[in-house]
Structure 1
């Protein structure tokens, strides 16, 4: 009875902590001049950990206000590699005028916790924090050491978070051989009341690219055949409408095979785009992992309406499949042509591991114990996470932030979207799964 009561307390704490964390503004614009920083959230997390007896390590990562919190829970077998459980405290900006509730309200209503960061990823931070508190409070000894890390700056590629920590404080991750974090462990209803839980085993590379075209400056009223803006926009249009070749990685093949076994749905490689579209809301996620993408996101040129500028620039968000970087760059050269200079603003490699081993078995067992009849299958994330940093330390990295979701919820649309929210029941489910997993990992 006491164990059940303690677990129920942790479930309730997860809901409250998610709301509390959302109410702490940690907006990350990517611009040092306007970033709010994670300090207040980090102090909140450190206080909650200290309350139950943890000795915390508090680290500022390269800039004022970019704060991180670490604790280590000793396991029964210190000779085994440690497990890193990491989550980021920052969140992307949100415009309150677009939302049904204020994005920093943390409102708990209609069966959801609402606000910016609800699924990306203050929900997992809260579940991890509540589970760590329960384990420490109840004297639960996991089978191996567990490092809980609450981090800054994931939403801007980790320069003032995971990347800085890996370069400057690798001692904080000593002995860690595997890691879990976002974005995986969530359910997709594949038929009737049957759910597949997608465990992330891979993620595409992030390659943010600046394009620059030079021309001849001149008066806007005259005929002008060397206009930098014209040349740039033509190149950007070619790139933005280009469809890169279909490539099936091992992770995607295993995902499609799993869906086929569960539903009988076939994925004909002759019309894979059409077949993937039948997956419903998750089709956007999967569709972005069967080819490279290059989406123009920013344009910058000129300083006056009647002046033709000599330079025009654009930023393109490129996401590259494992093993495709060299071929991708060759294709860029062909599309853009010789007049377009390109510069990598960020270039973080893909991450991929296999869907096997004791940790995968423990994740799968924890899910199916809470949702009998379900199945776990691997998938690739089209975005990027802090796994890119920890992968360089030799860790196998997985996305495992478990949530049992309503069949009609468009989960993918909530990430960086308007009215971001997470179901209360999903938070409680995820806390039970994490508790079971961390006691058996």
Structure 2
């Protein structure tokens, strides 16, 4: 008897695995125990590892029929971001299945992928099937913070578990994205993540001379800081066209019948219509001020002021971007990295990408598969350190009017049941072959 993927997803949502960051977390233990039990029932021996109390990771390996082939890794995180019940129209951790959707925090980020993977592994066991190559599984903690209790810890302390792995798949790719054309047709794109921008969060500290607010002060830390932030926010970062972004523009442009001019990327993106959302944030680096801290009384000029800046870098641009930031700092303002994870990019012209595209087209003949770059970050940044090519491939077929990109970290998160069933079939095709 095979397991129902929607029920699996709902069960996982009912475990509150909220990660508030900074080490404050409900913990992944109960969800991890549940995953381990499902794997055990599917004839797979799980290993549970906790770098800290309740911060639980589940590792397993499904042996393939040809051990000489390189293995593939499926990794998915068990933690979720906070959800304020007062903002939701249903219980964020109720795991309701109604109106064709599974409702709750983590439905698309990313307990859906956990459920689809478990459903596939259990189906193999029920039907007496095995994949061609070893399939390594990692259901991890702490992705929604910095991975110190999850993927990064596993890479540093349990790298042997990933021996022989050549490629990996995880979140933020393989979902359908319907785009209308000028001729009235609808093109169904499936962006598969082959790159993601780097995360270089900065703390800026301005140091000046404290004093009375009514008096002239040419060494005002607040003024120096806000001047720097204004420069960073207004800076026009140049276009840096990575292989992934170029392939997306060419592929999507051809499918949509629009002119592609790689010498004028902004104009090309403007012609893509709704599909522009998939690429507009990933042709440039970005420096976005997000946190400000200064002063304690309105008539006192503080001696120091600090800010945090969300910095995202494209492959091959890290040194250039850091030099740009340094050039925009006011005198008296210094920077330090709070987090510095470099961008990653996997090759497109590989059997792995071809197999993903084939699996999608087998289940949806209308599929137009294109590579794309993630604007944010995932645990790929950890596993790529082991020389693994990491792809965003958590397939879903989505209904018209469903805003997938608004679901992750959003209010009233939900995932279509039919999309989960489609995704499980696609994963089965890809992982089996």
| TM tier, smaller | over 0.9
Distance of 2:59 and 2:330 partners within structure 1: 48
Distance of 1:316 and 1:107 partners within structure 2: 38
Q: Is the 8 A contact 1:281 1:411 kept in 2?
A: no
Aligned residue for 2:89? 100
Distance of 1:184 and 1:72 partners within structure 2: 23
Aligned residue for 1:3? none
Aligned residue for 1:60? 50
Aligned residue for 1:27? 18
Aligned: 1:158 with 2:151:
no
1:221 is displaced (CA, Å) by: 4.4
Aligned residue for 1:373? 366
Aligned: 1:331 with 2:324:
yes
**Deviations for 1:239-273, whole angstroms, at most 9, x for unmatched residues?**
12222111111101111111122121123456533
Alignment partner of 1:14 out of 1, 5, 8: 5
Q: Is the 8 A contact 1:281 1:410 kept in 2?
A: no
Distance of 2:274 and 2:17 partners within structure 1: 29
Distance of 2:170 and 2:268 partners within structure 1: 29
5 Å-filtered alignment, 1:137-216, equals 137-191=126-180, 192-216=185-209
1:410 is displaced (CA, Å) by: 2.3
3-state SS in 2 of match to 1:186: coil
**Deviations for 1:177-219, whole angstroms, at most 9, x for unmatched residues?**
1111111111111343431211111111111111111112223
1:282 is displaced (CA, Å) by: 4.3
Q: Would you say how many aligned residue pairs link Structure 1 and Structure 2? A: 429
Distance of 1:334 and 1:267 partners within structure 2: 34
5 Å-filtered alignment, 1:43-122, equals 43-61=33-51, 63-122=52-111
3-state SS in 1 of match to 2:68: coil
Aligned residue for 1:436? 429
3-state SS in 2 of match to 1:155: coil
1:422 is displaced (CA, Å) by: 1.3
Distance of 1:156 and 1:323 partners within structure 2: 25
Distance of 1:224 and 1:211 partners within structure 2: 20
Alignment partner of 1:344 out of 325, 332, 337: 337
Closer, same or farther in 2 for the Cα pair 1:342/1:375, shift >3 Å?
Answer: same
Distance of 2:309 and 2:68 partners within structure 1: 45
Q: Is the 8 A contact 1:190 1:262 kept in 2?
A: no
For structure 1, which segment, 22-31 or 205-214, has the greater mean C-alpha deviation from structure 2 after superposition? 22-31
Aligned residue for 1:303? 296
Closer, same or farther in 2 for the Cα pair 1:108/1:329, shift >3 Å?
Answer: same
3-state SS in 1 of match to 2:178: strand
3-state SS in 2 of match to 1:154: coil
Distance of 1:329 and 1:432 partners within structure 2: 44
1:308 is displaced (CA, Å) by: 2.5
3-state SS in 1 of match to 2:356: helix
1:377 is displaced (CA, Å) by: 1.2
**Deviations for 1:126-154, whole angstroms, at most 9, x for unmatched residues?**
11111112222332111001111100111
Distance of 1:402 and 1:70 partners within structure 2: 22
Closer, same or farther in 2 for the Cα pair 1:138/1:55, shift >3 Å?
Answer: same
Closer, same or farther in 2 for the Cα pair 1:374/1:338, shift >3 Å?
Answer: same
Unaligned runs of 5+ in 1: 1-5
Distance of 2:82 and 2:275 partners within structure 1: 24
Unaligned runs of 5+ in 2: none
Q: Runs of 4 or more off by more than 6 Å in structure 1?
A: none
1:19 is displaced (CA, Å) by: 1.4
Closer, same or farther in 2 for the Cα pair 1:321/1:359, shift >3 Å?
Answer: same
Q: Is the 8 A contact 2:169 2:390 kept in 1?
A: yes
CA RMSD between the two structures: 1.8
